[in-house]
């Protein structure tokens, strides 16, 4: 299909064009979900991360990438951390995963405080929290088959090879890929399929917490919508708590129950997604909403919104 842009957006002729437009996320948050259980899967208390500092000749305070971050997530619920590049959101994710060691604060996952554990002490607890990275082309070992990627973690934690393979086959069906794809290598899949495999690999460990660090930002809008639906299905089926890192408030609206907004390492706003997106209290949050692409366009219904309408409420 080819047409002037306004005509294409308001009166698309082809089904494929309509599907592409309807896959574009909007700022209208989904209804919040009740927690699967009345407990906290993760509790973050006073988390801080400072890079650098010290010095022999002149003391330096370093870069405070995260300051006094506090939140909890219950089973079956999703907390989104949003902010521009350099806001500290991915630093928080990496500190929680212990890919970096936090400078201060406590992180309690599945009843164990993990922030101060040594690498050896942490090892038995890693199965409780798993991560899906941003780049589906770099997060899988190119020399390993899908079967090996999915089975390595469970086998390391005592699952028999036969049981791990059977579970891997079930997970392939869960992420809408054929069982015989277990014998293939990552280069034989598209980006969206690789991200599905990365999600299956994380879920194979039966974690309590899933961290998705910009997990859909490298995907086109139609595949992005499919992966968001998959994460929603996985969460509903297994009751996993999820920490969702994104720079896109529109994506956060589609999957998050709560939103935490960070600016320069500081939490400037935190609350239910509906409240934060419909009635933001902080200027920075309002600026993020104003900067959202297509905020004045209703892609699902192929129409423009009144630009004079305040950026609040259901018209988002």
Within 8 A by CB and 6+ apart from 148, the residues are: 141
3-state secondary structure of 65: strand
What is the tens place of the pLDDT at every residue in 149-207?
999 999 999 999 999 999 999 999 999 999 999 999 999 999 999 999 999 999 999 99
pLDDT at 18 over 90: yes
Q: Is residue 312's pLDDT more than 70?
A: no
Sheet order of strands, 129-132 included: 112-113, 104-109, 42-51, 63-73, 266-272, 258-263, 78-82, 241-246, 209-213, 129-132
Mean pLDDT, the chain, integer: 90
Least confident of 14-18, 218-222, 233-237, 310-314: 310-314
Q: What is the distance between the terminal CA atoms of the chain, rounded to a whole angstrom?
A: 28
Per-residue pLDDT of 110-150, as tens digits, reads 999 999 999 999 999 999 999 999 888 888 999 999 999 99
Report how far residue 187's alpha carbon sits from residue 189's, in angstroms, rounded to the nearest whole number: 5
Output the pTM of the full model. 0.89
Domain boundaries, the chain: 34-267
Which of 118, 114, 85 is closest to 97 using CA atoms? 114
Q: How far apart are CA 87 and CA 13, in angstroms?
A: 41
Mean pLDDT on 55-77: 83
Q: What are phi and psi of 67, to 5 degrees?
A: -135, 120
Q: Is the pLDDT of residue 63 over 90?
A: no
pLDDT at 137: 85
* pLDDT reading at 224 higher than 80: yes
CB contact at 8 A, 125 and 117: yes
User: Is residue 307 scored above 60 in pLDDT?
Assistant: no
pLDDT band at 67 (very low <50, low <70, confident <90, very high): very high
pLDDT for the residue 185: 96
Name the least confident of 1-10, 59-68, 71-80, 266-275.
59-68
Residue 220 has pLDDT above 80, yes or no: yes
| DSSP string covering 103-156 | SEEEEEETTEE-TT--HHHHGGGGGGEEEE-S-TTTSS-TTS-HHHHHHHHHHH
Structure confidence at residue 60 (pLDDT): 63
Residue 314 has pLDDT above 50, yes or no: no
- Which CATH number is associated with domain 34-267? 3.40.50.300
At 218, the pLDDT band (50, 70, 90 cuts) reads confident
Q: Looking at residues 236-240, what average pLDDT do you find? A: 91
Query: What local confidence, expressed as pLDDT, does residue 313 receive?
Result: 42
For residue 54, name the pLDDT band (cuts at 50, 70, 90): low
User: What would the mean pLDDT of 8-33 be, rounded to a whole number?
Assistant: 90
Mean pLDDT across the stretch 274-296? 89
| Residue 285: predicted pLDDT | 94
């Amino acid at each position: 299909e080819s047409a002037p842009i306004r005509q294409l957006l308001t009166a698309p002729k082809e089904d494929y064009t309509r599907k592409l437009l309807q896959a574009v996320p909007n700022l209208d948050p989904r209804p919040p979900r009740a927690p699967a259980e009345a407990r906290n899967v993760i509790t973050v208390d006073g988390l801080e991360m400072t890079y650098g500092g010290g010095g022999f000749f002149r003391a330096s305070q370093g870069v405070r990438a995260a300051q006094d971050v506090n939140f909890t997530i219950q089973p079956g619920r999703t907390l989104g951390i949003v902010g521009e590049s350099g806001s500290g959101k991915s630093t928080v994710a990496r500190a929680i995963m212990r890919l970096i060691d936090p400078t201060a604060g406590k992180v309690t996952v599945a009843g164990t405080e993990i922030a101060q554990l040594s690498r050896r002490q942490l090892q038995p607890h890693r199965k409780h929290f798993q991560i899906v990275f941003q780049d589906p082309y770099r997060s899988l070992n190119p020399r390993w088959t899908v079967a090996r990627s999915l089975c390595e973690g469970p086998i390391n934690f005592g699952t028999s090879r036969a049981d791990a393979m059977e579970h891997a086959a079930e997970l392939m069906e869960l992420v809408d890929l054929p069982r015989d794809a277990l014998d293939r290598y990552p280069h034989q899949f598209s980006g969206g399929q690789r991200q599905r495999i990365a999600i299956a690999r994380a879920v194979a460990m039966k974690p309590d917490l899933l961290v998705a660090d910009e997990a859909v930002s490298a995907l086109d809008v139609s595949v992005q919508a499919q992966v968001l639906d998959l994460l929603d299905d996985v969460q509903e089926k297994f009751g996993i708590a999820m920490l969702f890192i994104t720079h896109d408030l529109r994506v956060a609206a589609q999957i998050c129950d709560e939103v935490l907004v960070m600016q320069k390492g500081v939490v400037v706003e935190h609350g239910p997604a509906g409240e934060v997106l419909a009635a933001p209290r902080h200027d920075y949050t309002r600026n993020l909403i104003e900067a959202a692409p297509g905020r004045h366009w209703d892609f699902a219904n192929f129409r423009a919104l009144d630009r004079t309408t305040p950026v609040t409420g259901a018209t988002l």
